[in-house]
Amino acid sequence: MTHGAESTPGRRTLLGAAVLGSAALGMAAAPGAHAAERAAGDVRAPGERHGGGHGSGYRSLPVPTVIAHRGASGYRPEHTLGSYQLALDMGAHVVEQDLVPTKDGHLVCRHENDITGTTDVASRPEFASRRTTKSVDGTAITGWFTEDFTLAELKTLRAKERIPASRQENTVYDGRWTIPTFEEVLRWADAEGRRRGRPVWLHVETKHPTYFRGIGLGLEERLAKLLRRHGRHRAHSPVFLQSFEPTSIERLAKLVDSPRVVLLSGANTRPWDFVQSGDPRTVADLVTPQGLKWIASYAQGIGPTLDLIVPRDANGRLGTPTTLVRDAHARGLILHPYTMRNENSFLPADFRRGTDPNAYGDVFGAFKVYFEQGIDGIFTDNPDTGLLARADFVDG
Ligand code: G3P
Ligand code: CA
């Protein structure tokens, strides 16, 4: 399965002003405390479902919810405490973590188990012999892998920017932070929640769960144990659990009551657990009314790629929206699509400005299109921009 394409980006000129603006938004983001949220309820028919501060648990979150993708990864090396802190300080409603295990079974926050591109491991002679090639979800990858390191060893590494050619400004933070464990993130979230007087919401993804179970490092039980320890195992707990593999979500549903989201990649892809078990269904099957009904039997939401909501043509231009938002809502599922990024290279062609792939495009225009579809939230590398776009949308 392919998803979460990693490439380009670049310009930070909006950051200063945007941080100031969104800090104010962040202070006002407590459920039910801000006119914008009441307005969000007006727009989104509060009480019918997720939104507007009119429910409890995830239904109390502002809609559309701004989810900081890997933290404020547009401005800091992803999945670091620095990236998470900036996202929270900007006012993001939810902060995302991707989880993979260490050799000794600790859960750490990385987008891939291959840490070649996001740490300084390649420059560490003591770990040179750990470089290897392995097949992960059917793809041969050469590099250094978290499951070959103890936590103590991983903690000697330093995080760095994934796409330095595109996000050059982020490289000034290279080496500043270590790889966080999920337990450290839970402690950070608990402390920040106490300090702010409201919970810090997390959105936690199990990465390659079938692969890791196959090598004796099952993710779900370890995750459930930590969620219980930090009181985030209940239906109203401030956390979403997410995975591209439906069986991981089904397994989590048996372990905890925390709200769950099934991620959906391109229509022609097949979740890796389906490939392994011989289940012939593709994502196209899962977004049918029947497929959505099945998902709703064990999850509260879906996290589709934005292209499943508004497809792009061969030139990258937006086409006619699908019925996915309506169909999912009809089955009680919320939608948290991914991923909005400010750089031209990631935007629909309709909203690119100029020819520099790393320059920022008309990101507010793009956010507006997606918000108008009725989505419940959105993952973004640029939570400050997302919050301003949300305010534009909600306040009119
Ligand atoms: O989990 C939502 C979004 O993050 C999915 O894409 O590949 O960035 O984890 P990815
Ligand atoms: Ca993710």
The tens digit of pLDDT for each residue in 183-224 reads: 999 999 999 999 999 999 999 999 999 999 999 999 999 999
Residue to mutate, 1, 3, 309, ligand 1, most ligand atoms under 8 Å from C-beta: 3
Q: How far is ligand 2, taken at its centre, from the CA of residue 396, in Å? A: 30
The DSSP bridge partners found for residue 198 are none
Residue to mutate, 98, 239, 272, ligand 1, most ligand atoms under 8 Å from C-beta: 98
Residues 210-220, buried b or exposed e (16+ Cβ, 10 A)?
bbbbeeebbbb
The DSSP bridge partners found for residue 100 are 108
Which atom of ligand 1 lies at the shortest distance from residue 111's CA? 9
Contact yes or no for 303/334 (Cβ under 8 A):
no
| The token pair that represents 282 in the structure block | 């593709």
Q: How far apart are CA 356 and CA 190, in angstroms?
A: 41
Q: How far apart are CA 263 and CA 275, in angstroms?
A: 16
Nearest-CA residue for ligand 1 atom 8 is 4
| The token pair that represents 277 in the structure block | 């078990």
Q: How far apart are CA 196 and CA 384, in angstroms?
A: 19
Would you state the torsion angle of the CA atoms of residues 234, 239, 244, 250, taken in this order, to the nearest 10 degrees? 0
Whether residue 242 has its Cβ less than 6 Å from ligand 1: yes
Q: How far apart are CA 235 and CA 210, in angstroms?
A: 25
What SS3 state is found at 263? strand
Alpha-helix runs per DSSP H in the chain: 15-27, 35-44, 81-90, 151-154, 182-196, 209-214, 220-229, 246-255, 272-277, 283-286, 289-296, 324-330, 363-372, 383-395
Which ligand has an atom closest to residue 337 CA?
1
Which atom of ligand 1 lies at the shortest distance from residue 69's CA? 4
Q: Is residue 305 part of a domain?
A: yes
Q: How far apart are CA 386 and CA 4, in angstroms?
A: 19
Whether residue 98 has its Cβ less than 6 Å from ligand 1: yes
Whether residue 303 has its Cβ less than 6 Å from ligand 1: yes
Q: Is residue 373 part of a domain?
A: yes
For position 291, what pLDDT does the model report?
98
Nearest-CA residue for ligand 1 atom 1 is 205
For position 97, what pLDDT does the model report?
99
Whether residue 240 has its Cβ less than 6 Å from ligand 1: no
For position 358, what pLDDT does the model report?
97
Q: How far is ligand 1, taken at its centre, from the CA of residue 384, in Å? A: 19
Whether residue 338 has its Cβ less than 6 Å from ligand 1: yes
Contact yes or no for 270/1 (Cβ under 8 A):
yes
Identify the CATH number of the domain in which residue 94 sits.
3.20.20.190
For position 54, what pLDDT does the model report?
57
For position 55, what pLDDT does the model report?
72
Q: How far is ligand 1, taken at its centre, from the CA of residue 338, in Å? A: 7
Residue 365: Cβ within 10 Å count: 14
Q: Is residue 31 part of a domain?
A: yes
* Total-model pTM: 0.89
Whether residue 205 has its Cβ less than 6 Å from ligand 1: yes
Q: Is residue 3 part of a domain?
A: no
Contact yes or no for 165/62 (Cβ under 8 A):
no
Cα angle 58, 203, 337 (rounded to 5 degrees) comes to 85
Cα angle 212, 215, 219 (rounded to 5 degrees) comes to 35
Q: Could you tell me the maximum CA-CA distance found in the chain, to the nearest angstrom?
A: 59
Whether residue 265 has its Cβ less than 6 Å from ligand 1: no
Which atom of ligand 1 lies at the shortest distance from residue 203's CA? 1
Whether residue 343 has its Cβ less than 6 Å from ligand 1: no
Contact yes or no for 92/72 (Cβ under 8 A):
yes
| The token pair that represents 95 in the structure block | 């902060």
Low-confidence residues of the chain: pLDDT under 50: 1-52
Which ligand has an atom closest to residue 3 CA?
1
Long-range contacts (CB closer than 8 Å, 24 or more residues apart) made by 133-137 = 136/208, 136/211, 137/1, 137/208, 137/210, 137/211, 137/272
For position 33, what pLDDT does the model report?
29
For residue 35, how far is the Cα from the chain centroid? 27
Whether residue 137 has its Cβ less than 6 Å from ligand 1: no
Q: Is residue 249 part of a domain?
A: yes
For position 396, what pLDDT does the model report?
83
For position 4, what pLDDT does the model report?
38
Q: Is residue 169 part of a domain?
A: yes
Q: Is residue 107 part of a domain?
A: yes
If one counts the domains in the chain, the total is 1
Whether residue 69 has its Cβ less than 6 Å from ligand 1: yes
Q: How far apart are CA 157 and CA 225, in angstroms?
A: 26
For position 21, what pLDDT does the model report?
33
Whether residue 74 has its Cβ less than 6 Å from ligand 1: no
Nearest-CA residue for ligand 1 atom 10 is 4
Q: Is residue 1 part of a domain?
A: no
Q: Domain of residue 352: give its range.
A: 11-395
For position 77, what pLDDT does the model report?
99
Q: How far is ligand 1, taken at its centre, from the CA of residue 15, in Å? A: 23
